Structure 1
């Protein structure tokens, strides 16, 4: 099977998709093992997230300076030579004033995608984040290519996936806007917790051979939260 992609200004190109489709279809036989491994790592991430602090930068953006000072104090306490509370307070005040100055600045530096790889640390963060998005998309497209094996109507399952994606996005946007205490950490940990619960339910259903009808909602929810 080949799809022709072309226009009046460009020569048509043949894009073979047989290999991709066959690999995704054949991988269904090993889906239980993949889900178990993915479930383990999500559970590990959830435990790790439960002990980390909220982002100081996020707290500064929201004007929660006292909480930012407390978080920075806790973080710097891990050092051999902890920074004094007075120095941390001065640093937070300076960052807050710099943020206010940046808002009123007329000229803003124009960055490009190449700036994401400007330093070694920033490049590593960019690569790791990009890998996370690619992995999540692989799971999404694996589910899309295997919609035919899920019980029920193909159109209903597709509509369910789209509805869940929009509902989750709107819910998180409302929570972020209305709940002051709901920072990035709470939203991230909550999403990972729901993913772990969904994957645990999927593993249980596959292990005990229950009806695949129950796999559709949990599968869509776990993928959409990523």
Structure 2
């Protein structure tokens, strides 16, 4: 039987509608619900989150566009933070420069607004996410300035967690710092000397070894796996460097 060509074709669900119902979409836009947080961002690096990346690009791009001309900086900070986190998730999976650039762009906008509005400046979570995105972009571009910026952002985020006496967040940033140092050394940039790379790897190993007992004690399996991954790669790189002429 031939299909009824006079019938109105049913449009496929795309964009944000593919993942959220109308009420969830409204809550997200109004700041009443989160899609992604810093811990989920970290998880995506180890366990690839399965989703339609193009649909997410369309969704977050559309949301950002709706607020492009807004002057409400407090609303913009939330939107930019959410969009930046979403692009960060996409970029960590796609490993594409354009996705990483958008993640850096929106998290940088969040950072600048927070620096303007908050007496204490950007949050450690914002610094952590911006550091992750900056690190990925630096790896894709092989640009030392990006590695340096990512490392500073993660060191600053770590310092905030210590100042606020947030032991769980400090442990989380210990792991991020270790990973950033290990990736910085792994890049083998011409401007970074062998001794500098060794120093980075030694610090990464010390940080990872320091936080590993906590993850073992608390049963945080994801972070423990990532810590072991950093330790394995950093130790292998360090052995190779010390054996080289």
Structure with larger RCO (C-alpha < 8 A, sep 6+): 1
TM-score (structure 2 length as normaliser): 0.22
TM-score (structure 1 length as normaliser): 0.24
Higher-strand-fraction structure: 1
Structure 1 or 2, whichever has the larger Rg, is: 1
